[in-house]
């Protein structure tokens, strides 16, 4: 289970940052930044990929109630304009900026899942596999994943034929078949190859 070893080595308050939604063909990329409380940290925080949807919902609610949280969202059209890498960096920056507003000050240090950092002036450390070792990053992964899943469930109501209620915009076979049959929606990432191919004339 993720712990606080990395957090204890940094100048407080320490924020964890993670993202959800780099790979899907549709929908936004979402990042979250979380500063966990000194006490009463919700039990069961783990890498969001290891948790059920119900557990993520429960923990995301508790984290928002007890922690300082920022969320950054970059929509599909901006992903196409920036590319997914820079869109992810922007989402992380938006999340930390919102976190700083919640905190009323800049975090002392930021732990980011992955091997690259956004271009910002905050003191920060990138940790590969950070959601497995840092409780703050794992908490951010839960909030980011739950937020994005909620967005895609809402979009499913408008575009049910793509199956976003189950695939959340990822390019599974059923989604690709629906893309070929119906063409892309306004929420599809046109810079991604399967979506671009669906736009080609027959």
CA distance 138 to 160: 31
The answer to the question of whether 46 is labelled as a binding residue is no
Contact 63, 44 (CB under 8 A): no
Q: In what order do the strands lie in the sheet with 14-20?
A: 68-74, 29-35, 14-20, 109-113, 124-127
Query: 111 by DSSP, 3-state: which?
Result: strand
CB 76 within 8 A of CB 106: no
Answer yes or no: is 121 a known binding residue.
Answer: no
Q: Is 113 annotated as a binding residue?
A: yes
CB distance 46 to 1 below 8 Å: yes
Beta strand 29-35 with 124-127: parallel, antiparallel or unpaired?
unpaired
DSSP 184-200: --TTB-TTSHHHHHHTS
Q: Binding site for a divalent metal cation, residues? A: 18-19, 113
Q: Binding site, residues? A: 18-19, 113
């Amino acid at each position: 289970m993720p712990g606080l070893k990395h957090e204890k080595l940094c100048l407080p308050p320490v924020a964890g940052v993670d993202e959800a939604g780099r790979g899907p063909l549709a929908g936004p990329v979402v990042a979250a930044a979380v500063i966990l409380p000194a006490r009463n940290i919700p039990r069961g925080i783990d890498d969001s990929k290891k948790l059920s949807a119900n557990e993520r919902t429960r923990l995301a609610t508790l984290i928002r109630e007890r922690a300082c949280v920022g969320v950054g969202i970059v929509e599909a059209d901006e992903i196409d304009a920036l590319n997914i890498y820079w869109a992810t960096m922007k989402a992380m920056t938006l999340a930390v900026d919102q976190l700083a507003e919640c905190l009323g000050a800049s975090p002392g240090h930021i732990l980011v899942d992955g091997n690259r950092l956004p271009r910002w002036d905050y003191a920060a450390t990138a940790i590969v596999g950070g959601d497995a070792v840092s409780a703050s990053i794992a908490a951010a992964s839960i909030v980011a994943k739950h937020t994005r899943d909620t967005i895609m469930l809402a979009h499913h109501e408008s575009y049910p034929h793509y199956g976003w209620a189950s695939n959340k915009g990822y390019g599974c076979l059923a989604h690709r078949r629906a893309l070929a049959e119906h063409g892309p929606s306004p929420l599809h990432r046109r810079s991604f190859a399967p979506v671009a191919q669906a736009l080609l004339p027959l």
